Amino acid sequence: MQDQIRDVLAAHGRMAVDPSEVDSQADLYELGLTSTASVNVMLALEEAFGIEFPDEVLKKSTFASVHNIEQVIEGLVKSSA
């Protein structure tokens, strides 16, 4: 799952670094992820995983690291199964 998340970040995150080389706990905002780019990342993740981010997870911390994104997606995938 982390590889898919990193692919989405590479395509839509507009970060200053290569997401494939970013530690899963690294702060993505400090690495250049902006609020506008995080919306694109969210929409692309919805397409990639066939999920929809509900209002309650639309917080800054959700997109703050690869690990955080993975945790939220895993929860959404489980709840939709």
Q: Which residues sit at the interface with another protein, rule CB under 8 A? A: 12, 14, 34-37, 39-40, 42-44, 55-61
Q: Which is closer to another protein, CB of 6 or CB of 12? A: 12
Residue 67 CB, nearest distance to another protein (Å)?
A: 16
Q: What single DSSP character describes residue 64?
A: S
Q: Which is closer to another protein, CB of 22 or CB of 63? A: 63
Residue 7 CB, nearest distance to another protein (Å)?
A: 15
Cα distances (Å, whole numbers) of residue 20 to 11, 49, 54, 55, 77: 11, 18, 27, 28, 23
Give the separation between CA 41 and CA 4, rounded to whole angstroms: 11
